[in-house]
Amino acid sequence: MSSVGPVPLGVVWVLLGWLLAIGVARWWQPPPQEGQPKPAAMLLDMVFLGLLGGRLGFVVLHWRAYADDPWALLRLGDGGFLPVVAVLVGMGWAAWRLRRWPALRRPVWAGAVAGILCWVGLSLGMAHLQQSRIALPAVTLQSLQGQPVALADTEGKPVVVNLWATWCAPCRREMPIFSAAQQREPNVRFVFVNQGESAEDVQQFLSSQKLVLQHVLLDPDSLTAERLQVHAYPTTLFFDSRGRLQGLHMGELSAAGLQARLDALR
């Protein structure tokens, strides 16, 4: 499970953490004073500014990739985000804002800590659950040349499995990024598992786009998606050299978003 309907789980965890923070803040809320802001409004500002800071921090860290593709800055779905920076920015802003309202310090800080612990706990819990339930499936697929290939054969390297289809617009957009990463990262095994299409369709797409990809595999029955519990394309899964899940991303990846996940595999 990587989403609730169309909403990624990361967004859901942030919302649940914020709702818990509001509940805790209201429990500790002091009697209202004239001009005093509401703790819920301050917590919302903390979340918004924290998310903005986390995103900007990620962009600065990967500025070279974004300089080559400035439009990728708007692709928030690539998951490019620094949680530590987000927490520091949100907390820093609250400390500055609360200097004028000492009565609000207890409810705001209590709510913020509760919300952060909820967010971290849910994120780590889901990551552990996914790792325990999802592994490289023991399926044998066919290459474009008709040769059988065992998907679970890691060759002693970290493995990136991309589930895609030629009719999927986000899949098509991110393929050049994967092509470049595959050539740049020889110690990572990239596997591109096409879902439900023929070899002719895939070959035609690769030729028309002038893409050079290794390890393009055919899965006409979408068995891989079923085994990996994937329900939308593109979805990319990151496994270590032992075939254990280390990360999952549903949706289009930017060059910076992909590189950040590759760095985490090392």
Q: What are phi and psi of 150, to 5 degrees?
A: -80, 120
Mean of per-residue pLDDT scores for the chain: 88
Element at 149 (helix H, strand E): strand 148-150
What average pLDDT does range 70-74 have in this prediction? 78
Give yes or no: residues 95 and 179 share one domain: no
Show the domain range for 118: 3-133
Give yes or no: residues 67 and 146 share one domain: no
Q: What CATH number should be reported for the domain holding residue 171?
A: 3.40.30.10
Residue 89 confidence (pLDDT): 96
Please state, in angstroms and rounded to a whole number, the distance separating the CA atoms of residues 239 and 161.
8
Give the residue from 86, 112, 87 showing the smallest Cα distance to 98: 112
Residue 4 confidence (pLDDT): 47
Give yes or no: residues 85 and 160 share one domain: no
Give yes or no: residues 129 and 217 share one domain: no
Residue 5 confidence (pLDDT): 46
Q: Which residues of 14-45 are buried (b: 16+ CB within 10 A; e: fewer)?
A: beebbebbbebbeeebeeeeeeeeebbebbee
Q: Report the DSSP beta bridge partners of residue 26.
A: none
Number of residues that this document lists for the chain: 266
Give yes or no: residues 172 and 50 share one domain: no
Name the domain boundary from 133, 148, 173. 133
Give yes or no: residues 110 and 157 share one domain: no
Give yes or no: residues 107 and 26 share one domain: yes
3-state secondary structure (DSSP) of residue 48: helix
Confidence of residue 2 (pLDDT cuts 50, 70, 90): low
* Range from 178-182, 207-211, 241-245 carrying the lowest mean pLDDT: 241-245
Residue 21 confidence (pLDDT): 93
Q: Left, alpha or beta for 215 (phi > 0: left; psi -120 to 50: alpha)?
A: left
Q: How many domains does the chain have?
A: 2
CB within 8 Å of 243: residues ≥ 6 apart: 135, 136, 152, 154, 159
- Other beta carbons less than 10 A from residue 128's beta carbon: 10
CB 172 within 8 A of CB 166: yes
Please state, in angstroms and rounded to a whole number, the distance separating the CA atoms of residues 158 and 162.
13
Residue 118 confidence (pLDDT): 94
Environment class of 212 (CB within 10 Å of its CB; exposed 0-12, middle 13-18, buried 19+): exposed
CB 191 within 8 A of CB 161: yes
Give yes or no: residues 67 and 12 share one domain: yes
**pTM of the full predicted structure?**
0.84
Name the domain boundary from 133, 148, 165. 133
Give yes or no: residues 167 and 235 share one domain: yes
Residue 6 confidence (pLDDT): 45
Name the domain boundary from 133, 154, 180. 133
